[in-house]
Every structure is written in structure tokens, then in C-alpha cells.
């Protein structure tokens, strides 16, 4: 199993057809690296990259509170999570143990919305 970062990963040389397919399903390419730019077809992205690499892949998660990168296997909800190992944001173990977690989550998302304008 190979672990990838959703914002920056390398793939071996792929042909024009595979490159086009990746671009159409939500993967982009810049300065020698691929990254996921659209999560609408995330399962298809995972399947396509797994096929290219000829092994199962998983993506790191980005903590919604502290921006730390971590693996799903660190989470106590790993077994029951429907989106494990997909390139989404989640909450890391350290942040999930904080007392005012919900307030921090809301504040962080407000900050993100302000910076995207």
C-alpha cells in the first residue's frame, strides 16, 4: 500500500490517454507534480491512481484545526469511517481531544472562508 499527499504527488510516466483521463476526473498537474483539484470523482481518482501504480493507495488527511498531515489509521473511528484513506480533511487525534473542539472547528472554517474571498 502506498501513501500519497493529496496536494503533491508524483506518478511514473503515463501516456496521453491516462493523463487526459486524470485531468477529466479531477487531478491536475503543475511543475512536475500531480495534485487533486476536484473531489467530485474521488473514488474514480483513487482507482485510476491505484491502477497506474499497480498497488492500493491511501491519502493523508489534513487536520481541519491545525493543518497537520496524518494517516486515518491514527483515528479511533478508523474501522467505522466511510471515507477513510480518501483525500479529505478530518481532525487529528491531538485536536480531537481538546475541550473546545467545536468552537475551534467553527473558527477555523470562518478563517478559511475569509481567506478565499
Domain ranges of the chain: 2-59, 61-115
**What percent of the chain has a predicted confidence (pLDDT) above 90?**
40
> Which of 40, 33, 20, 17 shows the shortest CA–CA distance to 87?
40
Which pLDDT score, from 0 to 100, does residue 117 have? 59
pTM of the predicted protein model: 0.76
Q: Rounded mean pLDDT of the chain?
A: 89
Give pLDDT tens digits for 6-45.
889 999 999 999 999 999 999 999 999 999 999 898 899 9
Which pLDDT score, from 0 to 100, does residue 17 have? 95
Query: CA 21 to CA 8: how far, in whole Å?
Result: 18
Amino acid at each position: 500500500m502506498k501513501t500519497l499527499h493529496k496536494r503533491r504527488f508524483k506518478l511514473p510516466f503515463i501516456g496521453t490517454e491516462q493523463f487526459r483521463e486524470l485531468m477529466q476526473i479531477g487531478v491536475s498537474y503543475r511543475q512536475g507534480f500531480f495534485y487533486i483539484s476536484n473531489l467530485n470523482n474521488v473514488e474514480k481518482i483513487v482507482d485510476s491512481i491505484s491502477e497506474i501504480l499497480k498497488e492500493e493507495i491511501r491519502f493523508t488527511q489534513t487536520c481541519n484545526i491545525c493543518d497537520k498531515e496524518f494517516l486515518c489509521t491514527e483515528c479511533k473511528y478508523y474501522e467505522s469511517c466511510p471515507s477513510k484513506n480518501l483525500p479529505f480533511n478530518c481532525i487529528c487525534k491531538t485536536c480531537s481531544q481538546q475541550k473546545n473542539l467545536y468552537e475551534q472547528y467553527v473558527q477555523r472554517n470562518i478563517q478559511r472562508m475569509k481567506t478565499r474571498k
